[in-house]
Amino acid sequence: MAKLNYELRVALKHTSPRVWRRIRVPADTDLQAFHEILQDVMGWEGYHLYAFEHGGRAYGEPDPDFSYNMIDAEQVPLQDVLVNPGDTMAYVYDFGDDWVHMITLKKRLPQSSRFPICLSGSGACPPEDCGGPARYHYLLSALADTEHPEHEMAKEWLGEDHDPTKFDIEAANWMLKTPTDEDELMPESIAGLISSFLRDQLGQVAPSTCRKYERALESVMIALNSYGYNNNPGIDYDSLQEAGKTFCEVATIEALLNYMKEFFGYFMPRKMHANITEVSECRTALRRFLQWLSESDMIDPEAAQAYRRQVSRLAAEGIKAARVRWYEFAPVETPPHQVDEILEDHFTITRVEPGTLWLEDMKQTGTPGMVRAPRAFTDVCEPEMDLAAEMQRTGDRWYLMDVYNAYPKP
């Protein structure tokens, strides 16, 4: 079974301002490890007991002196509790203060990394032992009112500069970096290098930019984990699966560098159906990653520059194809009233004129030749692009009726 990452929303209930996080974790993370992830990403300090609650069952740390019938969280993977997008469970921390978190599975994604990351969030974590949601709100009110009889006490509990709306995503992701990460992940592997790059960027660029880098490079790793072994016969896919590893956890940077043409020319149009923004973000992230590899003396500066130019060229063609792919298609102004033939196939553009395309049938089952198309559509087309499209013929004239996909020219 292919390994998955889960994208989850964690919301602390009964708080205002709202406190929530959006995180990505391996789906096979056991609930004890997931508890530790939640502690880091929310901002708790781990002083108290916890429980996950779902379907009438509770998961946590079994204690013979505690009457609650608790299933050992260390023996239960997250994916056994949350299965489908929309599934929820509760996470209760500190049985005295009763901080209740609602956890919702948002997305199931092919696994590109075995390490958790926080994608976004809002709101500061309340301090430990402050008395629960009602008491926390009381302390916030006292802190905001200098005339409040317990204003000084609230300053002592919360700190004079406590901002309940503030969330530091960089600090959260730093906390998620455990001492064992580098031991478990080969530092010279693609996954190891990308992990090091993203952690380095946390202190260099805005969190939103870092998230774009992470999203783009995850797409690259998903592509390599799915197809990279085809170009690397020395790495056996079945053996990787049996060992519970991904291609990117074993392959070195050369495999990524050699995959750029396939990534932009095959994976992005065919598997991602990528739009202009996605192609642009991948171009930016890969160019910055290559620059970082050069600055870190991991690849030769001249080679890095050559690969950066290649990424720019491939992305430029990918953006042109994405513009065609995501064109809001409408048939020609005067569509055929009588349809004599319908043809759906893949076609190569051989010539472009305003309002007209010349197409070659890639499968050679017969070519429609000259095809009428909307002027605005032909304006974004270029020779050598490939189209997955539908044609209709009336008499001896062909009309372009719809385009399902477009692939960059080689």
For residue 183, the model assigns a pLDDT of 45
Q: What is the pLDDT of residues 73-90, one digit of tens each?
A: 999 999 999 999 999 999
CB 59 within 8 A of CB 76: yes
Rounded-to-integer distance, Cα 370 and Cα 357, Å: 6
- In sequence order, which residues have a C-beta less than 8 Å from that of residue 302 and are 6 or more positions away? none
Q: Tell me what the pLDDT averaged over the chain comes to.
A: 86
Q: pLDDT > 90: what percent of the chain?
A: 45
For residue 179, the model assigns a pLDDT of 40
Q: Is the pLDDT of residue 72 over 80?
A: yes
Listed in order, strand segments (DSSP E) in 14-72 are 19-26, 50-54, 57-60, 71-72
Taking Cα atoms as reference points, which of 129, 125, 164, 115 lies closest to residue 143? Answer: 164
CB 91 within 8 A of CB 35: yes
Phi, psi of 167 (to 5 degrees): -140, 125
- Residue identified by tokens 């406590």 is 162
Rounded-to-integer distance, Cα 123 and Cα 134, Å: 16
The amino acid that residue 198 corresponds to is L
For residue 184, the model assigns a pLDDT of 56
Rounded-to-integer distance, Cα 101 and Cα 94, Å: 11
For residue 140, the model assigns a pLDDT of 86
Q: What is the pLDDT of residues 277-333, one digit of tens each?
A: 999 999 999 999 999 999 999 999 999 999 999 999 999 999 999 988 888 766 555
What is the CATH number assigned to the segment(s) 341-407? 2.40.50.140
3-state helix, strand and coil shares in percent for the chain, rounded to the nearest 5: 40, 25, 35
What is the CATH number assigned to the segment(s) 4-121? 3.10.290.30
Average pLDDT over residues 179-200: 74
Average pLDDT over residues 90-95: 94
**Tokens in use for 116?**
């958790």
For residue 254, the model assigns a pLDDT of 92
Q: What is the pLDDT of residues 320-331, one digit of tens each?
A: 999 888 887 665
Work out the angle at residue 262's Cα, subtended by the Cα atoms of residues 386 and 280, and round it to the nearest 5 degrees. 80
For residue 177, the model assigns a pLDDT of 65
pTM: 0.62
CB 100 within 8 A of CB 19: no
Cite the DSSP H helix spans in 177-270.
181-184, 190-201, 207-227, 237-243, 253-257, 260-262
Rounded-to-integer distance, Cα 329 and Cα 108, Å: 31
Of the listed ranges 89-98, 169-178, 223-232, the least confidently predicted one is 169-178
Query: What's the Cα-to-Cα distance from 403 to each of 335, 345, 373, 399, 400, rounded to whole Å?
Result: 15, 10, 11, 12, 8
- Residue identified by tokens 């198309």 is 373
Q: Do 4-121 and 341-407 have matching folds?
A: no
For residue 180, the model assigns a pLDDT of 41
- Residue identified by tokens 């559509």 is 377
Q: What is the pLDDT of residues 372-383, one digit of tens each?
A: 998 889 999 999
The domain segmentation of the chain, as residue ranges, is: 4-121, 125-162, 183-325, 341-407
